Amino acid sequence: MLRLFFFIILISLYSCSQSSDAFLQKGKELMQQGKTREAIEFINKAIEKNTTNADAFNLRGVAYYELKENDNALLDFAQAIKLQPGSYRPYFNRALLYKDENKLDSAFADYNKSAELAPDTADVFLNRGQLLVLMDKAPEAIQDFEKATKLDENNKQAWYNLGNTYYRTQDFKKATLAFRQTVKLDGQYGKAFYGLGLAQYNEGEKDLGCTSLKQALNLGYSDAANALAQFCQ
């Protein structure tokens, strides 16, 4: 009760002198600390101060999404889009929500809009690529992962997803190249060494493949043990 009382006083003190953006910044800080419910109180104040603050609606939508209050999140993302239709962020965030709800076509439409508005943002193409994999559209997913790696050559997740998708399409040579880049960026990524080992083995580089699988196991990726038993005895 004492903590709640202090929190109410804190908001009241902010209310006397702070701008909408100041409340919004405090909300961001609280969310970064994992205090999502408390963050919403400050974001509410940001909106009360400025009902056209699109960033505040978008952030509150993210907060509701984290709390799995999806209906509220959707309302806030829609309002953010209405207020600032040229921003990709609410489309991007709504796509994440739609994907979680298995509304893949709706998610795809929002990712397409995000890509239109932010064609230089690697995460847009990374996430749309992941969605395309779920939609069994591997060639299109590969194009998005390739785009993501061009926009951000240090994005290890984009390189990993590219390698994994090439592997699924049995293009083991390109999978090997992508996985090599992944482990170059992160030498502790056991799952990437596992993918690299399988790709190398299927490409005919059996000794290298077994070495990579051993490295995956050494890094704690347990699935590598079965692959080693099957291929490297």
Question: What was the pLDDT predicted at 156?
Answer: 98
pLDDT value of position 19: 87
Q: Where are the domains of the chain?
A: 154-233
What own/partner pairs with CB < 8 Å and gap ≥ 24 does 121-126 have?
121/88, 121/151, 122/147, 122/148, 122/149, 122/151, 122/152, 122/155, 122/158, 123/92, 123/148, 124/88, 124/92, 125/151, 125/158, 126/155, 126/157, 126/158, 126/161
pLDDT score of 18: 79
Task: Tell me which CATH homologous superfamily contains domain 154-233.
Answer: Tetratricopeptide repeat domain (1.25.40.10)
State the amino acid at position 124 in one-letter form: V
Q: What pTM, to 2 d.p., does this model score?
A: 0.89
pLDDT at 6: 46
* Residue pLDDT tens, the chain, 233 long: 545 544 444 555 555 557 889 999 999 999 999 999 999 999 999 999 999 999 999 999 999 999 999 999 999 999 999 999 999 999 999 999 999 999 999 999 999 999 999 999 999 999 999 999 999 999 999 999 999 999 999 999 999 999 999 999 999 999 999 999 999 999 999 999 999 999 999 999 999 999 999 999 999 999 999 999 999 98
